Amino acid sequence: MPVELAKKIIDEVSEPEFQRVHGTQAFVLGENGDLFLNKACLEIMRYIRIKCPTMGITIFTNFQNANQAILETIHKEKLVDFVNCNIDSVNEDMYHRIKGIDLSKVLKNLKLFFDLRRQYASNIPVQIYSITLYTYVKAIYDNFGVLPAKADRCMGESIYDDFDETRSYLEKLIDPAIDRVTKVDKVMCWAERERVSKNKDFAKYQCTNLSRVMREAFIAPNGDWYICCYDAKNEVVLGNVGKESLHAVFFSTKRTEIINHLANQRFRSVGGPCCTVNCCQFVGLVNEKECANLFLVTEKAD
């Protein structure tokens, strides 16, 4: 997101009248991505601290694009209040098959974050989520009868639940007083929308993100306010905050109608990802007692 657009958003949120109506409490930077991809991330966070000093700043990152200068500045200036990240394995081969990126670089930057936190006593907590390859592949297969879209990454390989190894490694790095390593047992299937049937009776489904759609603004780098974080392709756009105010989009007829459709389970009327609302549900393993290394992926996804 360009700095100018970010500042426009921050300026509006900082206005007393906006706060009186909306009561914004926090900014979340990098959701559905990595904050550090934005070269202006430090400038944006500094501006939030200046204009909205009482609001929290939460970031999402996989630490791939972090570096010492950025991390040191964050701790030194206390620019962040909370960090979320995913580390789904500490096995280099397994991690690469899940994320497609270099684990050694991720862990190097994570360790650096913790070292600098101790040095500057910033006490910024870190929540590490872990979705094992086994859990994801098997949950998709058990619930939808298909292999994940990127199943070719684990072709012909026996995959197992390696969370205990991941937790053991990460717990040696974290501060248990403020950090957490959490296993994700139920997965979100938004990445599999193209592979599952859209011809479903959606009356039995609820919009699992409706409360957030009603309360939060999800803003893409180009200023589009899209429906929610499950809309990975930004298909359902409520307005553009580069051209309109946040307040105007919030009270727009389009947004009101879409929320009404979601609340009344008229998902096809919304369109986009809501046409596969079955992929917005959290699903787990159907047979959790099955031996962890029993599931062997040997066929390509259709």
At 168 the pLDDT is 98
With a cut of 90, say whether residue 142 has pLDDT above it.
Answer: no
Most confident segment among 84-93, 94-103, 117-126: 117-126
Q: Averaged over 35-50, what is the pLDDT?
A: 96
pLDDT, tens only, 149-164: 776 665 545 678 899 9
Quickly state the pLDDT bin for 287 (edges 50, 70, 90): low
Between 158 and 229, name the one with better pLDDT.
229
pLDDT higher than 80, residue 302: no
pLDDT level of residue 203 (50, 70, 90 thresholds): confident
**Is the whole model's pTM more than 0.85, yes or no?**
yes
Do residues 202 and 157 touch, judged by C-beta distance below 8 A? no
Contacts of 257 (CB under 8 A, 6+ apart): none
- Higher-pLDDT residue of 51 and 192 is 51
Q: Is pLDDT above 90 for 45?
A: yes
For residue 53, is pLDDT > 80? yes
pLDDT band at 219 (very low <50, low <70, confident <90, very high): very high
Proportion of the chain above pLDDT 90, given as a percent: 69
pLDDT score at 294: 39
Please provide the distance, in angstroms rounded to a whole number, between the alpha carbons at the two ends of the chain. 36
For the chain, give the mean pLDDT: 89
User: What band does 215 get if pLDDT is binned at 50, 70 and 90?
Assistant: very high
Contact criterion met (CB below 8 Å) for 173 and 111: yes
Q: What is the CA 62 to chain-centroid distance, rounded?
A: 10
Q: Is the dihedral of CA 112, 133, 192, 58 positive or negative?
A: negative
What are the CA-CA distances from residue 163 to residues 34, 91, 142, 213 (Å)? Answer: 23, 10, 20, 32
d(Cα 279, Cα 192) in Å, to the nearest integer? 7
pLDDT band at 41 (very low <50, low <70, confident <90, very high): very high
The full DSSP string for 100-149 is -S-HHHHHHHHHHHHHHHHHHT----EEEEE--HHHHHHHHHHHHSS--T
Q: What is the pLDDT of residue 143?
A: 82
